[in-house]
Structure 1
């Protein structure tokens, strides 16, 4: 009878171990998703970040990358702790997961706050950035970002193509151009000399509306992933904690 109970306990412990291993594998996958979204948010149209005066968008993405990387490493730690049955190591693991949870929540909250402020920031700064820094020495990244923005979103100027008349670039001569060549529907050298709607993009709302919608879509994803995955991780962590208490560690008396 005693041998049967011992065998039953051993089988239960093995099942719990594999359940915990499965949870840790899910954590590892979740970390990969979080890190991938953070990298995507930074790499996808990364030039546009230079057009934003606030660093909140980039900070949210970097936090996700950091949190995702830590989750993946912690997932491996959790697997080791489970199979070695080291409860002390599991406690360290849970503390790390708490820190990761806070990082992900922070990324989500920052994304939400910036979501509310983005429109005002773009209205105040985008036109100034484009008209004062375009084609200036030491601001080549701004020039690249503006050209890419106007070509990819098929727009011209912050609010309209008329904004370029106030720019340092056009006022300095610009070889007779009225707008940068990147405003043209078909780019050729000096095509910006002619600002007729048949030649350049004259979109209502200019580039500011297009850029705002683009950044807002990214912020929604950053916020949803940060907070959503964090909530899932809390549920899984609680399940892991309950399971880890069901078997005795080999180093316990």
Structure 2
């Protein structure tokens, strides 16, 4: 004989929760994959730790899709063992998501120091390294920035007033082209790429952290429901 009353209500709530759980897994994978792909364009100026958080979210989302099977089966079949297994796995996922969320916020605070170091290193090799040439030109056009802190940073590279065409408005030019100068104040992007990239990394870090912590809080409800259902199943069959 199956569960009835309050325990039956918990059973159906847990089943509905698992459907939401699957959706949350897909959301986590999507957010992690989008951020990972976005970061990939700027791999030379980002530390490996920046890729660990989206990778952790992708792995967590994949695991969520798998363990939701235990939750659905445990609820529908009123199986105590599967429900307990689901609860334990859910606790582990809860911890992983909190870790990803906290790591995302920590990276936000480290972003500027890491970026400044790598931006200076890659800028100094702008002429010799075509990968860095493409990176800088793409970054300066996308974020409408110039240099690390401002356009004068390029003096160290070119030893004159020349700037990459990507520093200036209305000059598409070729990759690595130098057709404008720092004296063209009205045509040069005024902000440095450190500020723009810092904002970009911060926004992504907040998004990753928010998704990780937000879904972890929701999943805490699932842990409570699963534990209540497991206890109800055990008590029910002990009295039968």
Q: TM range, normalised to the smaller chain?
A: 0.7 to 0.9
Q: CA deviation at 1:91?
A: 1.9
TM-score if structure 2 supplies the norm length? 0.84
CA contact (8 A) 2:83 2:229 kept: no
Structure 1, unmatched stretches of 5+, are 1-5
| 1:166 matched to 2:156 | yes
Say which of 44, 48, 57 aligns to 1:50. 44
Quote the Cα distance in structure 2 between the aligned partners of 1:245 and 1:183.
Answer: 65
Partner of 1:144: 134
Instruction: Please show how residues 97-246 of structure 1 align to structure 2 within 5 Å.
Output: 97-132=90-125, 134-137=126-129, 140=131, 142-167=132-157, 170=158, 178-185=162-169, 186-189=171-174, 192-195=178-181, 196-197=183-184, 200-204=187-191, 206-246=192-232
SS of 2:163 mapped into structure 1: coil
Q: CA deviation at 1:247?
A: 2.8
TM-superposition CA deviations, 1:103-132 (whole Å, max 9, x none)? 111111211222122222223331222222
SS of 2:41 mapped into structure 1: helix
Instruction: Please show how residues 66-105 of structure 1 align to structure 2 within 5 Å.
Output: 66-105=59-98
Quote the Cα distance in structure 1 between the aligned partners of 2:38 and 2:110.
Answer: 21
Q: CA deviation at 1:13?
A: 6.2
Task: Indicate how the Cα distance of structure 1 residues 81 and 36 shifts in structure 2: closer, same or farther if over 3 A, else same.
Answer: same
Say which of 48, 52, 59 aligns to 1:59. 52
Q: CA deviation at 1:226?
A: 1.0
SS of 1:192 mapped into structure 2: coil
Structure 2, unmatched stretches of 5+, are none
Partner of 1:29: 23
SS of 1:155 mapped into structure 2: coil
Higher mean alpha-carbon deviation, 186-195 vs 229-238, is at 186-195
Quote the Cα distance in structure 2 between the aligned partners of 1:82 and 1:250.
Answer: 14
TM-superposition CA deviations, 1:178-232 (whole Å, max 9, x none)? 222322322124862321436852313x111011011101111111111121122
Quote the Cα distance in structure 1 between the aligned partners of 2:35 and 2:235.
Answer: 42
Quote the Cα distance in structure 1 between the aligned partners of 2:185 and 2:172.
Answer: 13
Quote the Cα distance in structure 2 between the aligned partners of 1:126 and 1:235.
Answer: 44
Partner of 1:40: 34
Quote the Cα distance in structure 1 between the aligned partners of 2:215 and 2:85.
Answer: 21
Quote the Cα distance in structure 1 between the aligned partners of 2:201 and 2:21.
Answer: 28
Quote the Cα distance in structure 1 between the aligned partners of 2:145 and 2:48.
Answer: 24
TM-superposition CA deviations, 1:135-169 (whole Å, max 9, x none)? 545x62x33332221001111111122222222xx
RMSD: 2.9
CA radius of gyration, larger in: 1
